[in-house]
A and B are shown apart, each in its own frame.
Chain A
Amino acid sequence: MDLRELYQDIIVDHNRSPRNFRVPEHYDRMADGFNPLCGDKLHVYLSVDDNRVTDVSFQGSGCAISVASASLMTEAVKGLTEQEARALFEDVHKALTGDEDAVDLERLGKLAAISGVRAFPSRVKCASLCWHTLTAALDQQDTAVSTE
Chain B
Amino acid sequence: MNAASHNTLPLNSAVAETDFDVEAIRRDFPVLHQEINGHPLAYLDNAASSQRPQSVIDAVRYYEEHDHANVHRGVHTLSQRATDAYEGGREKIRAFINAESNQEIIYVRGATEAINLVAQSYGRSRMQAGDEIVITTMEHHSNIVPWQLLAEQTGVRLRVIPITRRGELELEAVDELLNERTRLLSVVYISNALGTINPVKTLIDKAHSRGIPVMLDAAQAAPHTRIDVQALDCDFLAMSGHKMYGPTGIGILYGKRSLLEAMPPYQGGGEMILAVNFERSVYNELPYKFEAGTPNISGAIGLGAAVDYLQAIGLERISRYEHKLLRYATEKLESIPELKIVGTAREKASVISFTIDGVHPHDLGTIVDSEGVAIRTGHHCAMPVMEFFGVPATARASFAFYNTTAEIDALANALQTALGVLR
Bound-complex Cα distance A12 to B363 (A): 11
Does B367 lie within 8 Å of A3, measured CB to CB? yes
- A123 CB contacts on chain B under 8 angstroms: 362, 366
Contact with A along B375-414 (1 / 0, CB 8 A): 0011100010010000011000000000000000000000
Q: Write the chain A residue with the least CB distance to B417.
A: A3
How many of chain B's residues have a CB under 8 angstroms from any CB in A? 19
Q: Are A1 and B37 in contact (CB under 8 A)?
A: yes
B370/A3 in contact, CB under 8 A: yes
For residue B231, CB closer than 8 A to chain A, the reply is no
Are the C-beta atoms of B378 and A38 separated by less than 8 Å?
Answer: yes
Please tell me if the beta carbons of B386 and A39 are within 8 angstroms of each other in the complex: yes
Q: Is B422 an interface residue (CB 8 A)?
A: yes
CB-based contact A6/B366 at 8 Å: yes
Q: Does A61 contact B (CB under 8 A)?
A: yes
Give the chain A neighbours of B367 by CB distance below 8 A.
3, 7
A8-50 interface mask toward B, CB cutoff 8 Å, 1 = contact, 0 = none? 0000100100000000000000000000011111000000000
B393 CB contacts on chain A under 8 angstroms: 38-39
A119 to chain B, nearest CB (A): 10
Q: Does B275 contact A (CB under 8 A)?
A: no
Complex CA distance for A55 and B412, rounded to whole angstroms: 43
Using Cβ atoms and an 8 Å threshold, which residues of chain A touch B378? Answer: 37-39
Question: Chain A CB within 10 Å — which of B360, B367, B422 has the most?
Answer: B360
A50-69 at interface with B (beta carbon < 8 Å)? 61-65, 67
Note all chain B residues with C-beta closer than 8 A to A3: 366-367, 370, 417, 421
Which residues in B have some Cβ–Cβ distance to A below 8 Å? Answer: 37, 359-363, 366-367, 370, 377-379, 383, 386, 392-393, 417, 421-422
Beyond A12-B422, A38-B378, 20 additional pairs, beta carbon < 8 A: A3-B366, A3-B421, A7-B367, A7-B421, A7-B422, A38-B377, A38-B392, A39-B383, A39-B386, A39-B392, A39-B393, A40-B362, A61-B360, A64-B360, A64-B363, A64-B422, A65-B362, A67-B360, A120-B366, A122-B366
* Interchain Cβ contacts under 8 Å between A and B, 20 examples: A1-B370, A3-B370, A6-B366, A7-B363, A12-B421, A12-B422, A37-B378, A38-B378, A38-B392, A39-B378, A39-B379, A39-B392, A41-B392, A61-B360, A62-B362, A63-B363, A64-B360, A65-B362, A65-B363, A123-B362
